Amino acid sequence: MTAAMTIAAIAGLTLVSIVTRGFFLIPERELPIPAWLREALRYAPLGALVAVLLPEIAMTDGHLVHTWRDARLYATATGVLVFLATRSLLGTILAGTAVLLALRLGLGW
């Protein structure tokens, strides 16, 4: 790839990024969104989070975890239980991390 091609690629990506991010700022009035779409968009952040985290928790090297001796499973279960009991994000992170570290460092999982 030549320097000119690199500069053209960067310029093109910059233009696409500005246009797509600024698309909603261009109209002078708010775009009407149907109620069903507005309701569905409420779940988009949760869906994205699950799509990112679930493969990291349940897969190793592109395959499903095949053993219960995986510290990630127990750390996830602990985090979910702590969150359901306390509704504390910090407590969830600390509890899950503590279990993960204890199993990995203590038992060598």
Question: What is the pLDDT at residue 27?
Answer: 77
Question: What is the pLDDT at residue 76?
Answer: 95
What is the C-alpha to C-alpha distance for residues 72 and 97, in angstroms, rounded to an integer? 9
Q: Which residues is 64 bridged to in the sheet?
A: 59
Question: What is the pLDDT at residue 1?
Answer: 78
53-92 burial, b for 16+ CB within 10 Å, e for fewer?
eeeeeeeeeeeeeeeeebbbbbbbebbeebbeeeeeeeeb
Q: For residues 85 and 102, is the Cβ–Cβ distance under 8 A?
A: no
DSSP H/E element including 109 = none
Q: What is the pLDDT along the chain (109 residues), one digit of tens a residue?
A: 799 999 999 999 999 999 888 877 777 788 788 999 999 999 999 999 999 999 999 998 889 988 888 999 999 999 999 999 999 999 999 999 999 999 999 998 8
**Tokens in use for 71?**
């510290």
DSSP letter at 102? I
